[in-house]
Amino acid sequence: MSPCTPHRFYFAGQLSSVQSGDLTLAEGESHHLLHALRLRPGSQIDLFDASGCAWSARVVGERDGRAQVELIERLESDTSTQKPQLNMAVAILKRRAMDWMIEKLSELDVESLQPVIAARCVALPAREAEPDTPGRWDRLAIAAAKQCGRARPMTILTPAPLDQWLTRQCAPAHTVYAQSDSSSRKLGQWMAERIPVDLPLWIAIGPEGGWIPEEQNAFELAGFKPVSLGSLTLRAETAALSAAAVCRLI
């Protein structure tokens, strides 16, 4: 972040309904502002919310451990994501890989992430199956949005078994799933040939062991096309980032 660029903070409420006045930041954002960055009254910051609405603001103080900020001016914010909108469905990974992937997909402007439960998903250790896991994923997406400057955080949908998620895929979109068969069209080629080009994209990435035949059949029945990410065997998180990067560059 440039020294001249104000630090960005996430506001959990609706900034679009606010006209002026003072706001109180949530506990986590307050701790970051007051104790990690040690910002003092008078420091200028930017606030943004889940819709992409943004304001410039000024730190005015602290109350009961929460940062108090004064709104200054509503900012013109580009709430559109990359065109076309990119969404990804990824088989749930181990904690460290999943956390890292969420951060990097956020930086690559993925609009939404659907964690899916596939046959070859590695069983999550008990400590990773905690109720707070979705909350941790959301916090990672928010932190990445603050760092990279995207208008709004990546949406992380509720984890679902693959077959259940496929039955809900009814909105018009270009849909593909990555598979290890190098004879399939490469993702970049498929991107260049798709018509119309402005439909949202859904790209599904499997677990380390890949999709089982029954899952590939389910994709085909749901209208998903197979694509290749190249001849090398990639880790699942690497495959997800590679696919997102290809879409960002075309």
CATH code of the domain containing 127: 3.40.1280.10
Residue holding tokens 């809900």?
Answer: 168
**For 16-25, 60-69, 100-109, 210-219, which range has the lowest pLDDT when averaged over its residues?**
16-25
196: pLDDT strictly greater than 90:
no
Q: What is the pLDDT of residue 169?
A: 79
Provide mean pLDDT across the span 60-66: 93
Provide mean pLDDT across the span 171-183: 86
Do 28 and 150 lie in a common domain?
no
Domain for residue 149, yes or no? yes
128: pLDDT strictly greater than 70:
no
Q: What is the pLDDT of residue 61?
A: 93
Q: What is the pLDDT of residue 78?
A: 61
Do 175 and 245 lie in a common domain?
yes
| Strands, E assignment, the chain | 7-10, 22-24, 44-48, 54-63, 66-75, 86-91, 112-117, 155-156, 160-161, 174-178, 201-205, 225-227
CATH number for the domain including 15?
2.40.240.20
Provide mean pLDDT across the span 157-165: 94
Do 131 and 13 lie in a common domain?
no
Do 97 and 219 lie in a common domain?
yes
81: pLDDT strictly greater than 60:
no
Domain for residue 164, yes or no? yes
Return the closest-CA partner of residue 89 out of 111, 67, 109, 70.
111
Do 54 and 99 lie in a common domain?
no
Alpha-carbon span 23 to 18, nearest angstrom: 9
Domain for residue 1, yes or no? no
- pTM, full prediction: 0.86
Cis preceding-peptide flag for 134 (omega within 30 of 0): no
Model confidence over 204-220: pLDDT tens digits?
Answer: 999 988 999 999 999 99
Choose the final residue of a domain: 55, 75, 95.
75
Do 33 and 115 lie in a common domain?
no
Q: Considering only residues 55 and 4, tell me which one the structure prediction assigns the higher pLDDT.
A: 55
CB 206 within 8 Å of CB 229: no
Do 226 and 143 lie in a common domain?
yes
Do 70 and 128 lie in a common domain?
no
How many domains does the chain divide into?
A: 2
Question: In the chain, pLDDT over 70 holds for what percent of residues?
Answer: 92
1: pLDDT strictly greater than 80:
no
Do 231 and 122 lie in a common domain?
yes
DSSP string of 135-160, one letter each residue: HHHHHHHHHHHHHHT-SSPPEEPPPE
Model confidence over 82-99: pLDDT tens digits?
Answer: 578 999 999 999 999 999
Q: What is the pLDDT of residue 198?
A: 86
Range of the domain at 52: 7-75
102: pLDDT strictly greater than 90:
yes
Q: Considering only residues 169 and 154, tell me which one the structure prediction assigns the higher pLDDT.
A: 154
Do 105 and 211 lie in a common domain?
yes
